[in-house]
Amino acid sequence: MLFGKECRRILTSLTFIIYCFVVGLFFVSQFIDENKGDPYIPDEKISEDHDIIIDSAVDCLANEYLANNYICYPLGFYKSVRLKEDDSQKVEECLLEITGLTHDELMDIRDSGEHYYVEHGIQETMYYEIGELPVSDTITYERFCELMGQVDDILGGGSKYKVDDLVANYSYVPMTQEDREAIISDLYDKDRVVGGYARLFSDYVGIDLGIMPVFVAAALVSADRRKRVSDLIYTRKISSLKLIFTRYTALVTMMFIPVILCMISADIHLIRYFDFNDLALYKMFTLPTFWLLPQLMIVTAAAMIVTEVFSSGIAILFQFAWWFYSIMADGARLSGSISKFDLVCRHNTVFGREEFMLSKNDFIFNRIFYFIAAIVITAITAYIYELKRGGRFHGIRLFGKNSIFRHKA
């Protein structure tokens, strides 16, 4: 069967061996080595209390405003923003509306406290100790979010006031003993232990699967051209749809096997540290498969189409950018709030089932979306392949001495 032959070609390729090695190594060093014994219980939790969010956000904004030094992470990179007079004025207006203070009152608060200097390289910034600011009685949470959105826009995005991140940035409160007991009982009762570890597992392996498959897929697809076998394959009877889908399924299957092996060893690992009767072992297979398989599929599909249209090098660059953006953008959130189009979904904790469930619907949408997108992209790849086969399309060269359109012999 052709499928078996394609699997064999993948199995004997160097990139696949490297893939297995990296996935295995990352799994062992992050998951196995870091999870020996009792799980680490976090000190804080998200409260989602609007008053708490407004209180801490406004204090943070006032501090940054008075120092005129805002820490931002556009696209995941640290950036310190200093505003010009009129932009600073706009931020102040927002601040005054939220606190209900006048300009003079704010300045009084500023001048009544201590101030100190912080060096940033050659620059010095003056910070004020202002304590907690009041919050206006008339401000609603919706209006507050609106104002925060404006501030974020003025700062050019990626600031601490990004509306989607307000809950995660400002509503952490210390955990009480009851909170601790509650999340532990959630872990045992609702997640049957394995569920919690399955999310952590998916979090780690998902990082690999956001980038590693591109190497294997791009190498397989570009092999025909590199080894000058294209014409030989092009003249065979097989339909482009069948050929591309066979290769695609072979890639996805082969690359998912190491992931399944990791799932099995994760279960074995848990059996060593927990009472067997507390564990629902199947949960290590169900959630991670739903979480990781669509991701593997979309990365493989993207790698194939970019390699067919451009080249394997571009496919790797593209995937690297996408992966990097996905894990670094928006201040690199480690857990909570999975959004509709995240490639890599993060949830770096054994606990936090409730937090995870908050974005459950977006998460489900996300994975189904990528699953379908992967299949659609592969169908388009087959169409492009058919065009290349008949000499109607020659691929697009972005680099090299030839012009954009390359005429292949």
Partner 1 sequence: MEKKIVIKNVSKFYGRKQALFDIDLTIGQGMFGLLGRNGAGKTTLMKTLAALHRKKGGEITVCGVPIEKAKEIRAMTGYLPQDFSMYPSMKADEALDYLGALSGIPKAERKKRVTSLLRKVNLIEHRHKKVRELSGGMKRRLGIAQALIHDPTVLIVDEPTAGLDPEERIRFRNLLCEVAEERIVILSTHIVGDIEATCENIAIMDEGKILWKGTVEQLIENARGHIFTSNVEKRFMPQIKKEYIVTGMLSQNDYTTVRIVSDSEPDLPNTVLTEPDLEGAYMYCLHSSGCDVRGGEE
Ligand X SMILES: Nc1ncnc2c1ncn2[C@@H]1O[C@H](COP(=O)(O)OP(=O)(O)OP(=O)(O)O)[C@@H](O)[C@H]1O
Window contacting partner 1 (CB under 8 A); options: 85-93, 194-202, 360-368, 386-394: 386-394
Tell me if residue 80 falls in helix, strand or coil: strand
Per rule CB under 8 A, is residue 401 in the interface with partner 1? no
For residue 343 the two structure tokens come to 């490639």
- C-alpha 219/C-alpha 154 separation (Å) is 44
Is 185 or 402 the residue whose CB approaches ligand X more closely? Answer: 402
Per rule CB under 8 A, is residue 391 in the interface with partner 1? yes
Sole binder of partner 1 in the list 11, 238, 357, 396 (CB under 8 A): 238
Work out the burial of residue 390: count CB atoms within 10 Å of its CB; fewer than 13 is exposed, 13-18 middle, 19 or more buried.
Answer: exposed
Least distance from C-beta 218 to partner 1, angstroms? 16
Is 24 or 395 the residue whose CB approaches ligand X more closely? Answer: 395
- C-alpha 353/C-alpha 191 separation (Å) is 8
Compute CA distances 272 → 30, 32, 266, whole Å.
17, 11, 10
What is the total residue count of the chain? 409
Restricting to residues 196-225, name those near partner 1 by CB under 8 A: 223
Is 219 or 298 the residue whose CB approaches partner 1 more closely? Answer: 219
Q: Which residue is nearest to ligand X (CB)?
A: 409
Tell me if residue 204 falls in helix, strand or coil: helix
How many of the other CB atoms lie within 10 Å of CB of 232?
10
Least distance from C-beta 231 to ligand X, angstroms? 12
Size of the site for ligand X (CB under 6 A): 2
Least distance from C-beta 390 to partner 1, angstroms? 5
Sole binder of partner 1 in the list 138, 177, 235, 277 (CB under 8 A): 235
Is 131 or 390 the residue whose CB approaches partner 1 more closely? Answer: 390
- C-alpha 209/C-alpha 238 separation (Å) is 30
The helix/strand count (H/E) of the chain reads as 16, 6
Per rule CB under 8 A, is residue 228 in the interface with partner 1? yes
- C-alpha 33/C-alpha 31 separation (Å) is 6
Per rule CB under 6 A, is residue 409 in the interface with ligand X? yes
Least distance from C-beta 189 to partner 1, angstroms? 52
Per rule CB under 8 A, is residue 12 in the interface with partner 1? yes
Is 282 or 405 the residue whose CB approaches ligand X more closely? Answer: 405
Among residues 145, 146, 147, which one has the least CA distance to residue 166?
145
Least distance from C-beta 268 to ligand X, angstroms? 56
Per rule CB under 8 A, is residue 392 in the interface with partner 1? yes
Q: Where are the beta strands (DSSP E) in 110-261?
A: 115-120, 123-128, 172-174
Size of the site for partner 1 (CB under 8 A): 27
Per rule CB under 8 A, is residue 405 in the interface with partner 1? yes
Is 153 or 231 the residue whose CB approaches ligand X more closely? Answer: 231
CA 177 from centre of chain: 31
Restricting to residues 349-408, name those near ligand X by CB under 6 A: 407
Q: Where are the beta strands (DSSP E) in 137-287?
A: 172-174
Say if CB 20 and CB 259 are below 8 A apart: no
Backbone angles phi, psi at 338, to 5 degrees: -85, 130
Restricting to residues 242-271, name those near partner 1 by CB under 8 A: 243
Question: What single DSSP character describes residue 405?
Answer: B
Is 341 or 405 the residue whose CB approaches partner 1 more closely? Answer: 405
- C-alpha 67/C-alpha 193 separation (Å) is 47
Is 79 or 389 the residue whose CB approaches partner 1 more closely? Answer: 389
Question: What are the residues binding partner 1 (CB under 8 A)?
Answer: 1-2, 5, 9, 12, 223, 227-229, 231-239, 243, 386, 389-392, 405, 407, 409
Question: What are the residues binding ligand X (CB under 6 A)?
Answer: 407, 409
